[in-house]
């Protein structure tokens, strides 16, 4: 038997766990705003694209939902509730043989293995309206059996690359991202390196999801973008990153020059 190729280990950088003042759960209101802003679009997508007449739906009364990059909550819970509500409305609006009252939902919360799943499940509503399970692992790899997921969702997650492009940390490279903690857009070689990594990661993401989704299923990807011609450094978030980077450099210089 041929030896299977083992994918490279993807570095894990989870969000701050717990529920303290510096935790993700207390500092993710902007991301929640995006979820609320896209609720109507998700409802419309489910109504128009979610194929309930497909064999994969008719043979099962259980709808499998995956939230990829769930972090520690509570945003992921709002997302799941919105999706379930949209699917139930779809059943009620159409003449489906399976009543919406007989439907069951299984939700898979996915994030890196180092994610604070304890906080996530401790804050899960009780009793939940669905069967909940945690799925540790990078969403750039296969996570579920073939044709098993009816609805895949990810919000503000796929902009996190699987790794830092090698060129941007190589001092001998033309894409060396000196004195910057972000892809500002000023150095075209740096931008190309990050764009290439993003392209590879997104291709991997879409390829594995294509295997996991059932025919007629649906996937929603929410991600922040820039208008054509707008540099990251000129955007509001880019200015914040530049300010943060300046602070980090000052702190590093203080440590470097500290002489007790």
> For 82, what's the count of Cα atoms within 13 Å in the CB-facing half-sphere?
23
Instruction: Please list the pLDDT of the chain residue by residue as tens digits (260 residues).
Output: 334 444 444 566 778 888 888 888 888 888 888 889 999 999 999 999 988 777 666 666 789 999 999 999 899 999 999 999 999 988 887 765 555 567 899 999 999 999 999 999 999 987 878 999 999 999 999 999 999 999 999 999 999 999 999 999 999 999 999 888 888 888 999 999 999 999 999 999 999 999 999 988 999 999 988 888 888 888 988 899 899 999 998 998 898 887 76
Give the pLDDT score at 54: 75
Q: pTM of the predicted model, to two decimals?
A: 0.88
Nearest one of 207, 221, 167 to 41, comparing CA atoms: 221
Q: Which residues contact 81 (CB under 8 A, 6 or more apart)?
A: 129
Number of domains in the chain: 1
What's residue 4's pLDDT?
Answer: 41
Q: What is the CA radius of gyration of the chain?
A: 21
Residue 32: partners with Cβ closer than 8 Å, 6 or more residues away = 74, 75, 78
Read off the CATH number of the domain in which 56 is found: 3.40.50.150
Task: For residues 66 and 81, give the distance between their C-alpha atoms in angstroms, rounded to a whole number.
Answer: 12
Residue 2 inside a domain? The answer is no
**pLDDT, position 60:** 66
Which tokens hold the place of 186? 């000023």
Contact 90, 47 (CB under 8 A): yes
Query: How far apart are the C-alpha atoms of 104 and 98, rounded to whole Å?
Result: 11
Q: Which domain holds residue 218?
A: 24-161+200-223
Rounded-to-integer distance, Cα 240 and Cα 233, Å:
9
Which tens digit of pLDDT belongs to each residue from 135-156? 999 999 999 999 999 999 999 9
Q: What is the pLDDT of residue 51?
A: 84
pLDDT at 10: 55
How much is the pLDDT for 66?
A: 98
Measure the CA dihedral 177/182/187/189, to 10°: 70
Domain-embedded: residue 101: yes
| Domain annotation covers residue 121 | yes
First CA to last CA distance, the chain: 62
Domain for residue 219, yes or no? yes
> Which residue's entry shows tokens 């450094």?
233
Residue 237 covered by a domain: no
Q: What's the confidence (pLDDT) of residue 13?
A: 75
Q: Does 125 map to a domain?
A: yes
Residue 206 lies in a domain: yes
Nearest residue to 153 via CA among 70, 90, 229? 70
């Amino acid at each position: 038997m041929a030896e299977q190729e083992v994918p490279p280990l993807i570095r894990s950088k989870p969000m701050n766990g717990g529920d303290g003042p510096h935790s993700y759960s207390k500092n993710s209101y902007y991301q929640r705003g995006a979820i609320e802003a896209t609720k109507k679009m998700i409802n419309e997508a489910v109504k128009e694209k979610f194929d309930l007449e497909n064999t994969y739906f008719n043979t099962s009364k259980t709808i499998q939902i995956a939230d990829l990059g769930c972090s520690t909550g509570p945003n992921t819970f709002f997302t799941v509730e919105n999706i379930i509500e949209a699917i139930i409305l779809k059943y009620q609006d159409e003449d489906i043989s399976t009543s919406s009252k007989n439907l069951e939902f299984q939700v898979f919360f996915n994030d890196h293995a180092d994610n604070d799943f304890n906080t996530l499940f401790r804050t899960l509503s009780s009793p939940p309206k669905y069967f909940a399970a945690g799925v540790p692992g990078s969403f750039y790899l296969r996570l579920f059996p073939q044709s098993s997921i009816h609805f895949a969702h990810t919000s503000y997650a796929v902009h996190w690359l699987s790794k830092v492009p090698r060129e941007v940390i190589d001092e001998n490279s033309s894409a060396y991202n000196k004195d910057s903690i972000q892809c500002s857009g000023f150095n075209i070689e740096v931008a190309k390196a990050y764009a290439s990594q993003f392209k590879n990661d997104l291709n991997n993401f879409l390829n594995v999801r294509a295997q996991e989704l059932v025919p007629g299923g649906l996937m929603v990807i929410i991600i922040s973008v820039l208008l054509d011609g707008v540099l990251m450094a000129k955007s509001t978030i880019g200015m914040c990153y530049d300010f943060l980077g300046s602070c980090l450099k000052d702190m590093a210089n203080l440590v470097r020059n500290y002489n007790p």
